[in-house]
Structure 1
Amino acid sequence: MTNRRAFIAGLAGLPFATGPLAAIAQGSVRALAMPPLLDATRDRHFRLTAQKGKTDFTGLGGGETWGFNQSFLGPTLRLPAGASTQAQIDNTLSEKISVHWHGMLIPGEVDGGPHQTIEPGTTWFPELDLTQPPATLWYHSHVHGDTGRQVQRGLAGVIHVDDGRDDARGLPISYGVDDLTLVLQDRRFDRQGRIDYGLSMPDQMMGFMGNVILVNGQLGTQAVVPRGIVRLRLLNGSNARIYPLSFSDRREMHLIATDSGYLNQPVAIESLVIAPGERYEVLVDFSGGEAGTLVSSANPNQMMGGMMGGASTAGGAS
């Protein structure tokens, strides 16, 4: 079966191996997991619960994290384009949060920005009337003065606005198989493996920079993809880090969508720069079965040659 599979993995100086499918089955390499899919395209209703959890990212024990419906991050929401969807947001945390629908074209009264917080122990019922075309968006807490910390703790997730026509467009549509959602985030951890959001002066000047890159909240994993064309939905969910992405073998990607939705036609590229909050969709050809590694070169969001605001080498290519 090994000639029927290819592998993608790796980011920003982290060692990721490639190998046969049997290696993953035997547990020597962990397979990258997708966020759970919460599909609201039929009943047009979904529920998110902001909750505490515990996550061990590094194998050192970990610590408290936050998430929606789980310990860290949230499910991928699949919402219908051209229809209204009822949301229910429960806040079981001990502090106020918000849920901002980043990239969604909706009225301000349901936008979930800093003006629209959800107090502890309360529930918000926004109705999301989606009139925009298909696109990859995201949602995250957006409390004034506290957005960075709350997103670092895990209050974020991805949205697929879907009109049900991607199969007719000839695009990969099998979630987690040939249609992969990849949330890129940098983090720092203390000696117990807990998320460390202590802000230094460079952090306050240039934005928080972690020294470890997580993909979908995971470390040291690799994705298994079928032989053929694979769709990557890329989200930069970091506070300040910019990722200049490319494949280590310089294989071609085809850009098919940006924050606003589909392009008129695909654009062939070898690299892609993705800033915080941005989303891109690319197609990658794995028909030949060769392994590939997605890497990020040096973070351009630095000051004085990297001496301030991101001196970490985690942004270097592996």
Structure 2
Amino acid sequence: MLRDVAVLALQGAHAFELGVFCEVFGIDRGDDALPVYDFALVSGTGGSVPMRHGFEVRTRHGLERLASADLICVPAYDPHVRQPDHLAEELRAAVERGARVLSICTGAFLLGEAGLLDGRRCTTHWRYTDELARRHPRARVESDVLYIDEDPVITGAGTAAGVDTCLHLIRKEHGSAVANAIARRMVAPPHRDGGQRQYRERPLPRHGTGSLAPVLAWIEANLDQNLTVEAMAHHARLSPRTFARRFRQETGTTPLQWLTGQRVLLAQHHLETTDEPVTAVAHRTGFGSIDTLRHHFARRLGTTPQAYRRTFGAPPTSG
């Protein structure tokens, strides 16, 4: 169970990504019955650390604090700024004893220097994926995803994707209800799937019909229905071909892939919060049968609905 979190204050670190870790893990939300972590900001010197934006952060803890951490967070930093020589060794030792490491953006470069990306899928901000692959050729760098969980190594892309990465881990550890509650406190989207595309500097064509957000809301409200691309396009008052193109531009995925993802999320919620038979969950979420639900759970989560419920939710029931 995740209890002890240490965040590295690196020389040349970016304030936003450092702040994401502090916001997600460093705030006491016990009054809302949410997890409270033993949180520490850590530096290689245990003192003042110059940040990228012209100010300094003073920490109370040196690297010895990493020895007790269940999770070590690595923010974005200038990967050309040299960090303490023994920091990579400390990260390797932490993973060897069972701790997780989580990086945002260029924080992945430090994990690479520690050898923790070797043989693992990983990501960083799309502007730096080529350099990360060049520096660490044994890493399996993916350039167009929001985050990758190769437990115990979790890597997130740039800036806002750091919030998604942290909420993913919260969801994995504590369930969707806790992750959603923390997201609401942060006024952040509760879940974006890690496989969604990173933003690219590519102008989108403008259409007079505006955003597809109302259609997405309609789909979410009707997940138990037989939703085809044609039905979604009809609701959007677009041709299926135009709708599919617009959908990919706005979400980075296809309508059916997004629909399946939303149905899996809804099924997770029901498995966590109700004791409904799995057959009922399959129908309520639009999968129709247990076999279809199992298939998509296996593909997306690597587990079965029954095993997921045993781990995260209500007592198992027949179904």
Q: Which has the larger radius of gyration?
A: 2
TM-score under structure 2 length normalisation: 0.30
Q: Going by fraction, where is helix more abundant, 1 or 2?
A: 2
Which structure is richer in relative contact order (CA contacts within 8 A, separation 6 or more)?
A: 1
TM-score under structure 1 length normalisation: 0.31
Q: Going by fraction, where is strand more abundant, 1 or 2?
A: 1
